[in-house]
């Protein structure tokens, strides 16, 4: 158990360094060099740096790293928000922009459906019967496709059930899934920082009247990197989405067993059961299930006391 804890901590530290600290270090270093670039500022800064004592140099460098670490902490706290930004969950104040994206992607879904390109639909988009779920970006549609997969096939809600299922899948599967998610986050973090750099550096260079080639290198270079890393993240999103789908295909019945419910004999009964579980978790609709798969012996007495003191479950809707 201690070994698993150390492994989890090591993964989180590695994820923080790769997906937050190093991109932040490059981002602030590039901004600093851009600020010094016009009118020989880099040479003057280098001369001023060498003129300082070792103590001052260490203090300045330590302060810079401290600021980068603080900024990396902010980035790490916003990993999910960054992914959602690229998925297309934008503010209602710019509703016209996501609507344009959705209309374009809806046309792509219909075209793929007419061409009977089932593989592209399976990997990249919600099905033609789910046009209301189409997202305004390619990344958003890939992840939405994975989110709707279990709902479409088994009537099992991915968003609701995955936090429970993730504790039941094998460690190897969790590592593969976590690595795919981390690689996706890395490219999106680089993309968002490159976009911010392009805007800040471009505005600064215009204000100070820098030479045109410096502006082109910084502004268009930053935008090119931002778009390149975003499009590169789509392959990682596909890998992540495939793993999510495989997780439900392979291990969903294990979740039923942990809930002390026997897996149904056929798909129709399974769909009905997942619908009931969804309503039970989300809406507190209670059903008269017969619980099986007795708990471990050390917990059995406590469970029997709880069951004896609890009124039988009925199929009625209650307010939460």
Residue 176's domain comprises 2-258
Question: Are residues 166 and 244 located together in one domain of the fold?
Answer: yes
Q: For the chain, percent helix, then strand, then coil, each to nearest 5? A: 80, 0, 20
Q: How many Å apart are CA 87 and CA 101, to the nearest integer?
A: 11
Question: Are residues 211 and 282 located together in one domain of the fold?
Answer: no
Backbone angles phi, psi at 266, to 5 degrees: -145, 170
Question: Are residues 80 and 183 located together in one domain of the fold?
Answer: yes
Question: Are residues 57 and 179 located together in one domain of the fold?
Answer: yes
Question: Are residues 167 and 296 located together in one domain of the fold?
Answer: no
Question: Are residues 216 and 284 located together in one domain of the fold?
Answer: no
Q: For residue range 203-232, what is the model confidence (pLDDT) as tens digits?
A: 999 988 888 888 889 999 999 999 999 999
Q: Is 315 within a domain?
A: no
Question: Are residues 223 and 301 located together in one domain of the fold?
Answer: no
Mean pLDDT by 10 residues, the chain (320 residues): 45 83 95 84 82 90 95 94 92 78 91 86 84 93 93 90 91 91 95 96 89 89 96 95 92 91 90 92 82 53 42 39
Question: Are residues 303 and 243 located together in one domain of the fold?
Answer: no
Tokens of 196: 């911010």
Question: What pLDDT is stored for residue 91 in this prediction?
Answer: 73
Residue with tokens 């300045």: 60
Q: How many Å apart are CA 195 and CA 203, to the nearest integer?
A: 12
Q: For residue range 59-72, what is the model confidence (pLDDT) as tens digits?
A: 999 999 999 999 99
Contact, 226 vs 195, CB < 8 A? yes
Question: Are residues 218 and 80 located together in one domain of the fold?
Answer: yes
In the chain, the number of structural domains is 2
**Mean of all residue pLDDT scores within the chain:** 84
Question: Are residues 217 and 285 located together in one domain of the fold?
Answer: no
Q: Is 27 within a domain?
A: yes
Q: Is 320 within a domain?
A: no
Of 21, 48, 23, 24, residue with least CA distance to 36 = 48
Question: What pLDDT is stored for residue 97 in this prediction?
Answer: 80
In three-state secondary structure terms, 131 is helix
Question: Are residues 131 and 280 located together in one domain of the fold?
Answer: no
- The pairs formed by 269-276 with CB atoms below 8 angstroms and a separation of 24 or more are 270/154, 271/154, 271/155, 272/155, 274/154, 274/155, 274/156, 274/157, 275/155
Question: Are residues 248 and 275 located together in one domain of the fold?
Answer: no
Q: Is 160 within a domain?
A: yes
């Amino acid at each position: 158990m201690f070994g698993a804890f150390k492994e989890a901590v090591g993964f989180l530290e590695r994820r923080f360094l790769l997906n937050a600290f190093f991109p932040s270090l490059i981002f602030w270093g590039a901004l600093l060099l851009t600020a010094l670039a016009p009118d020989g500022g880099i040479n003057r800064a280098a001369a001023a740096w060498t003129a300082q004592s070792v103590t001052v140099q260490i203090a300045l460098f330590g302060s810079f790293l401290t600021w980068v670490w603080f900024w990396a902490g902010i980035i790490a706290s916003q990993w999910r928000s960054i992914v959602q930004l690229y998925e297309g969950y934008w503010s209602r104040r710019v509703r016209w922009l996501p609507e344009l994206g959705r209309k374009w992607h809806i046309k792509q879904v219909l075209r793929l459906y007419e061409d009977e390109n089932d593989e592209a639909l399976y990997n990249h988009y919600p099905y033609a019967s789910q046009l209301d779920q189409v997202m305004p970006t390619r990344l958003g549609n890939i992840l939405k496709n994975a989110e709707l997969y279990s709902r479409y096939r088994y009537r099992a809600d991915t968003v609701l059930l995955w936090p429970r299922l993730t504790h039941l899948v094998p460690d190897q599967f969790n590592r593969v899934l976590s690595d795919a998610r981390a690689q996706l986050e890395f490219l999106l973090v680089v993309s968002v920082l490159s976009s911010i750099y392009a805007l800040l550096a471009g505005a600064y260079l215009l204000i100070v009247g820098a030479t045109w080639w410096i502006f082109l290198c910084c502004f268009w270079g930053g935008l090119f990197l931002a778009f390149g890393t975003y499009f590169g993240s789509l392959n990682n999103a596909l890998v992540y989405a495939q793993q999510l789908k495989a997780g439900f295909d392979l291990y969903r019945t294990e979740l039923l067993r942990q809930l002390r419910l026997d897996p149904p004999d056929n798909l129709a009964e399974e769909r009905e059961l997942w619908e009931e579980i969804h309503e039970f978790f989300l809406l507190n609709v209670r059903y008269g299930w017969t619980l099986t798969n007795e708990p471990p012996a050390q917990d059995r007495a406590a469970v029997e006391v709880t069951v004896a003191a609890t009124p039988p479950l009925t199929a009625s809707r209650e307010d939460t």
